Amino acid sequence: MKLLICGGAGYVGSHMVRHVLEKQHEVVVYDNLSTGHRASVPAGATFVHGDIGDAARLARVFGEHRFDAVMHFCARSLVGESVVDPYIYYENNVGNTLTLLGAMRHAGVDRLVFSSTAAVFGHPVSDTIDESHPTAPINPYGHSKLMVERVLADASKAYGLRSVALRYFNAAGASCCGTIGEAHDPETHLIPNVLKAVLGQGKGLKVFGTDYDTRDGTCVRDYVHVNDLASAHLLAIDYMAKNEGAFTFNLGNGEGFTVREVIAAAEKVTGREVPHEFAERRAGDPAVLVASSQQARDALGWRPEMARMEDILSSAWKWHLEPRY
Ligand SMILES: NC(=O)c1ccc[n+]([C@@H]2O[C@H](COP(=O)([O-])OP(=O)(O)OC[C@H]3O[C@@H](n4cnc5c(N)ncnc54)[C@H](O)[C@@H]3O)[C@@H](O)[C@H]2O)c1
Ligand SMILES: O=c1ccn([C@@H]2O[C@H](COP(=O)(O)OP(=O)(O)O[C@H]3O[C@H](CO)[C@@H](O)[C@H](O)[C@H]3O)[C@@H](O)[C@H]2O)c(=O)[nH]1
């Protein structure tokens, strides 16, 4: 296959590119490098520096290549920032996605895998979240992703676009060889911040909130390895070959870890103390987010291979010991 990977220089996208190249497919990465890294795109992929809001640039790329499918990782994705500055979230995550969808339609490319998020659910009303759980985002970021899911459902009926929206829970970990990893600036995600604290980097780890209604008062999340997310994307493309429509699947390991448990596991994996302090709750954080991914297992045949927290942390630690960008 020949795939266009928009956002392929980012954290999840760069692991996707690697996975796709390993499976001998051809890849064009299209990225504006707003949060991604040129150095994370391997030599085996063609790189195009461009913005998905740039219709003319996209038209040229679609004119030069005949793609079998598009994977769309581009977004702004900081929950707190989305509350403070919602326009840029709707502009990039919804407006620019429409430009990309228009370019695909014009070029006759009718398969898309879209990076959605657990943030579409808001505060959960059940212990684990499956696809029938009500969607009720509590921040503009989650709303922007849910709007795209709505657009994809309409586009399926109107234009015959086949799509799979994968709602990741907490992406974590890094490639096994340590050459690519999570490098955001600012870094807001828990695992990289925990590992940076071990190394004495960053501003020091704060644990946001100790009074949640959870087993130890800190928030519970379902961490899923980036390589397992990547494998789900290729399975989604197989699925679209046999199924018409717009589909959504939740991706997580079905097991939640509190912030304190992640810190304890990181101390075990690194053999070092994780210096941290306790702080107020962070705005927009639900107490618990744990996935049921049964549908992804049943329909896509998805089998996560790096589900253990120790494995996720070890892979991330390898990267943090020697980051390349
Ligand atoms: N990391 C997570 O835990 C997580 C969880 C749920 C969903 N997601 C979603 O997965 C996707 C990837 O997340 P990530 O953590 O890898 O983010 P990231 O910021 O590392 O990657 C996003 C990539 O898209 C590029 N980009 C952004 N806007 C663009 C535009 N207009 N044109 C071209 N390129 C653009 C960036 O430069 C970057 O390379 C996002 O859509 C995010 O919302 C991530
Ligand atoms: O320095 C930190 C960073 C995070 N946390 C806490 O750790 C948990 C996880 O936070 P984080 O790693 O920032 O992930 P989430 O806020 O859960 O968001 C991620 O996971 C969501 C789905 O679950 C996606 O929608 C988002 O895009 C993605 O950033 C939360 O309770 C945070 O309050 C801390 O205590 N200290």
Distance 185 CA to ligand 2 centre (A): 15
Per run of 10 residues, the mean pLDDT along the chain (length 325 residues) is 98 98 98 98 97 98 98 96 95 98 98 98 95 96 98 98 98 92 95 97 95 97 98 98 98 97 98 98 91 98 97 97 92
pLDDT at 77: 96
Residue 7 covered by a domain: yes
Residue 177 covered by a domain: no
CATH number, domain with residue 99: 3.40.50.720
CA distances from 159 to 8, 58, 102, 155 (A): 26, 19, 11, 5
Distance 175 CA to ligand 2 centre (A): 20
Ligand 1 atom with minimal separation from the 52 CA = 32
Closest ligand, as measured to the CA of 121 = 2
Distance 85 CA to ligand 2 centre (A): 19
- Do 86 and 117 lie in a common domain? yes
State which of 76, 259, 261, 263 you would mutate to test the pocket of ligand 2, scoring each by most atoms of that ligand within 8 A of its C-beta: 259
pLDDT at 202: 85
Closest to 192 measured CA to CA, from 313, 22, 49: 313
Ligand 2 atom with minimal separation from the 168 CA = 22
DSSP characters for 227-287? HHHHHHHHHHHHHHHH--SEEEEEE--S--EEHHHHHHHHHHHHSS---EEEEPPPTT--S
With beta carbons less than 8 A apart as the criterion, state whether 307 and 253 touch: yes
User: Number of structural domains, the chain?
Assistant: 2
pLDDT at 152: 99
- Do 142 and 287 lie in a common domain? no
| Environment class of 163 (CB within 10 Å of its CB; exposed 0-12, middle 13-18, buried 19+) | buried
With beta carbons less than 8 A apart as the criterion, state whether 284 and 213 touch: no
Q: What angle do CA 83, 94, 237 make, to 5 degrees?
A: 120
Distance 321 CA to ligand 1 centre (A): 23
pLDDT at 46: 98
Residue type, 133: H
Is there an atom of ligand 1 within 6 Å of 89 CB? no
Residue 183 covered by a domain: no
Whose Cα sits closest to atom 15 in ligand 1?
11
pLDDT at 176: 83
The rounded distance, in Å, linking the Cα atoms of 304 and 297 is 9
Closest ligand, as measured to the CA of 129 = 2
Ligand 2 atom with minimal separation from the 117 CA = 25
Residue 55 covered by a domain: yes
pLDDT at 231: 98
CATH number, domain with residue 206: 3.90.25.10
Look up the domain containing 42 and give its range.
2-172+224-252
With beta carbons less than 8 A apart as the criterion, state whether 115 and 166 touch: yes
State which of 90, 115, 148 you would mutate to test the pocket of ligand 1, scoring each by most atoms of that ligand within 8 A of its C-beta: 115
Q: Predicted ipTM?
A: 0.98
- Do 117 and 264 lie in a common domain? no
- Do 159 and 107 lie in a common domain? yes
Residue 301 covered by a domain: no
Pocket (CB within 6 angstroms of ligand 2): 77, 79, 117-119, 169-170, 188-190, 193, 205-208, 219, 221, 259, 282, 285, 289
Mind telling me the catalytic residues?
Answer: 141
pLDDT at 52: 98
Exposure string of 223-248, with b = 16+ CB inside 10 Å and e = fewer, is bbbbbbbbbbbbbbbebbeeeeebbb
pLDDT at 149: 98
Ligand 2 atom with minimal separation from the 222 CA = 23
- Do 228 and 216 lie in a common domain? no
